[in-house]
Amino acid sequence: MQLQYFLLLAAALFCIGIYGLITSRNAVRVLMSIELLLNAVNLNLMAFSNFIDSALIKGQVFTVFVITVAAAEAAVGLAIVLTIYRNRDTVDMEQFNLLKW
Amino acid sequence: MAQYLLDTVWLIPVYALIGGLLAIPWSPGIIRKTGPRPAGYVNVIMTLFSFFHAVFAFLAIWNHPAQEVFIPWLSTAGLNLTINLEISAVTVGALIIISGLNLLAQIYAIGYMEMDWGWGRFFSLLGLFEAGLCALVLCNDLFFSYVILEILTLGTYLLVGLWFSQPLVVTGARDAFLTKRVGDLFLLMGVLGLWTLSGTWNYTELTEWAATANVDPTIITLVCFGLIAGPMGKCAQFPLHLWLDEAMEGPVPSTILRSSVVVASGAWVLIKLQPVFSLSPVASSAIVAIGAVTAIGGALIAIAQIDIKRCLSYSVSVYMGLVFIAVGTQQNEAALLLVLTHALSSALLVMSTGGIVWNSVTQDVTQLGGLWSRRPMSGLAFIVGTLGLIGFPPLGSFWALFKLADGLWETHPTLVGIVIVVNALTTFSLTREFGLIFGGKPKQMTERSPEAIWLMVLPMMILSGFVLHLPLVLQSLSLLPDWATLNKDVALLLIWSSIFGCSISSIIYLGNITKPIRLPWQGLQDLFAYDFYTPKLYKITIIFGVAQLSKFADMLDRFVIDGIVNSVGLFSLLGGEGLKYSNNGQTQFYALTVLLGVGFLGAWVTWPFWGIQFMDLIF
């Protein structure tokens, strides 16, 4: 097992998350893609803390914080989606293009 | 006293200028209550002053050497412009002629302009003209001559355009201004070119320079052409002659001045520049050619006119053409004498015909007739003017024409022939005019035609007296050739040509030949009657060219130059309009652009670390 594989896996996960982030039409799926991104980041942090900083494992502390903040962010995100849904009766991202030119 | 008057002879133009300025307040818009007449009286008084001043100064300068007065005008680095006045018998004599003729014309105008309200404008312009002409003859400097010529051009524009509510007056004034202006502008080129060659504009110094000058013949020829062009426009020479025809739309009293004196202003400069012209044989021949063509052409046109004023205006061109011939063949004295005799006779002719127009209304000679018995004074004045203008001894122009022809006799026999022919044609034309106006039976327009009022007849008679006495005056000044050494052949030829022209014309126009006269070939008659279709000629050449060029330049400005600048604005507008669609309101698109931006920035920053291997991998 090597650090690079973890990093490559994390990068792949990040890319999948990006793809989902910019292509999904459903707003909840966008939030889910953001979670994928954050998980890719967490994977990185864990890998670095394991392979480079195995004594103090600061990366793991970071990861805990990231998970915490991600939970909060997802909560706020879902709240926003719910608010928009109440107003516009849809969660289709392509309907949310009012703030243009 | 006389010496004092001589020293202050430069005041003469100032009198006239003051008279002109004093006339302005009586314009209808300023002094509303008195009417315009005081403007005329003030001007007559000022002109009277300058006339007497000139006469006394002449008595003081006669048989004395010329004096020069220097008035500094402007001094800058490398250029000192000094107004240089020459006070000699010739210049003071010219002052007498100008102020005298202007005095008569102004008295005449007081009669002629009786029913007109524009005296303020009219007399102030006459004052301006007198001032300009007096300044011109006194001025001994080419540069200031040019300045005065330009001021006179502007004066002509305003004076011809006096009655500007008439459309033909407006076009006539326009043509008079532009045609003379073109000539003047070429003159300016010549004036500036001459400075680089000679380093002086003083006529006296130019004469000295020309005596020993050694210049490139091409350059001096071109400079001379420039210098010819100014007088060519001023003197209404072919092809810049149309303006004088159209200037006949102006009031008659100003025509007196213009026909006699203003056109001579160009001739004066030409005569003064004669030493320069003698440097270039080509230029001299060109002057002679222009003069000869104008003389013959103008004489033929004058015969075919039916407008009483235009018959005379072409004669003016003719005589100025003869002056050109005289200058081109280095006969300055003949030229000056011709200018003098022509000025008096031409003014008299215009006065006489102006009186006819004044109370016969029509200017069409074919509608006039039979005035001799009822208008004897005008008729006599016309006869005297005619005799004074053609080669009829002992009156003035005979001696001028004789002097000219005598000087040409040995060297240019062809030109003598032209002078003779022109004399015959002018005689024919003037006799025709006399026959049509005064001879024959009264026509509808002339059935009741009283003699003009004394204000018009008086100057006419005084001028007739001057014309009749001119030979005596010339003799007392010993300007006439000795009878014993006279070239009798030339004299006889001139006299015979006059008699020939007069008798043929009398037979045709006073005899019982049906009028109007038709030439066997109508096209020829129309050609002369429409002065060789000069307006059309201008229209299809210069005017067409300039108009097309102006249109082209206008289009270039409107579409190309403006278009380039406007397109900058248009492109930024379109850029804004087009690029705003990048803000498409889709959050996911913004995320994509953020990502792309980060991606490219990262790629760019880290390029040194992986780029080369990457390139190797690809290629």
Cis geometry, peptide bond prior to residue B393 (ω within 30 degrees of 0): no
- Chain B residues whose CB is inside 8 A of the A30 CB are 588
Q: How far apart are CA B606 and CA B612, in angstroms?
A: 11
- Cβ-defined contact of B592 to A22 (cutoff 8 Å): yes
CA distance A8 to chain B (A): 17
SS3 of B592-618: HHHHHHHHHHHHHHHHHHHHHHHHHHH
Residues of B with CB under 8 A from a CB of A: 580-581, 583-589, 591-592, 595
pLDDT single digits (tens) A76-90:
999 999 999 999 999
Q: How far apart are CA A31 and CA A27, in angstroms?
A: 7
The structure tokens listed for B575 are: 């850029």
pLDDT single digits (tens) B48-65:
999 999 999 888 888 888
| pLDDT score, position B443 | 87
Nearest CA in chain B to A25: B588
Q: What is the mean pLDDT of residues B286-301?
A: 93
How far, in Å, are B247, B347, B352, B528 from residue B163 at the CA level?
A: 12, 22, 22, 28
- Chain A residues whose CB is inside 8 A of the B592 CB are 22
- Cβ-defined contact of A96 to B584 (cutoff 8 Å): no
pLDDT single digits (tens) B319-372:
999 999 999 888 888 888 889 899 999 999 999 999 899 888 888 988 888 899
| pLDDT score, position B405 | 86
The structure tokens listed for B216 are: 């490139």
Interface subset of A 57-96, CB within 8 angstroms of B: 93-94, 96
Nearest CA in chain B to A22: B588
* DSSP 8-state class, residue B539: I
- Cβ-defined contact of A101 to B581 (cutoff 8 Å): yes
Task: Round the CA-based radius of gyration of chain B to a whole number and report it.
Answer: 32
CA distance A65 to chain B (A): 24
- Cβ-defined contact of B584 to A23 (cutoff 8 Å): no
- Chain A residues whose CB is inside 8 A of the B576 CB are none
- Chain A residues whose CB is inside 8 A of the B588 CB are 21-24, 30, 93
Confidence class of residue A62 from pLDDT cuts 50, 70 and 90? very high
Judge whether residue A29 has pLDDT over 90. yes
- Chain A residues whose CB is inside 8 A of the B585 CB are 96-101
Confidence class of residue B483 from pLDDT cuts 50, 70 and 90? low
Q: How far apart are CA B339 and CA B401, in angstroms?
A: 11
Nearest CA in chain B to A26: B588
pLDDT single digits (tens) B568-581:
999 999 999 999 99
Q: Where are the alpha helices (DSSP H) in B199-331?
A: 203-212, 217-234, 242-246, 252-257, 263-272, 274-277, 281-304, 308-328
Confidence class of residue B255 from pLDDT cuts 50, 70 and 90? confident
- Cβ-defined contact of A101 to B580 (cutoff 8 Å): yes
ipTM comes to 0.90
Most B CBs within 10 A among A28, A88, A100, hence the mutation to make, goes to: A100
- Chain B residues whose CB is inside 8 A of the A80 CB are none
| pLDDT score, position B431 | 92
Specify the residue for token string 């008699």: B499
Nearest CA in chain A to B593: A22
Confidence class of residue B449 from pLDDT cuts 50, 70 and 90? confident
| pLDDT score, position B612 | 85
Q: Does A56 contact chain B (CB < 8 Å)?
A: no
Most A CBs within 10 A among B582, B583, B587, hence the mutation to make, goes to: B587
Instruction: Note whether B353 and B307 are within 8 A (CB).
Output: no
| pLDDT score, position B484 | 66
- Cβ-defined contact of A97 to B588 (cutoff 8 Å): no
Closest Cβ–Cβ partner in B580, B585, B591 for A99:
B585
Nearest CA in chain A to B596: A18
Q: Does A97 contact chain B (CB < 8 Å)?
A: yes
Nearest CA in chain B to A27: B588
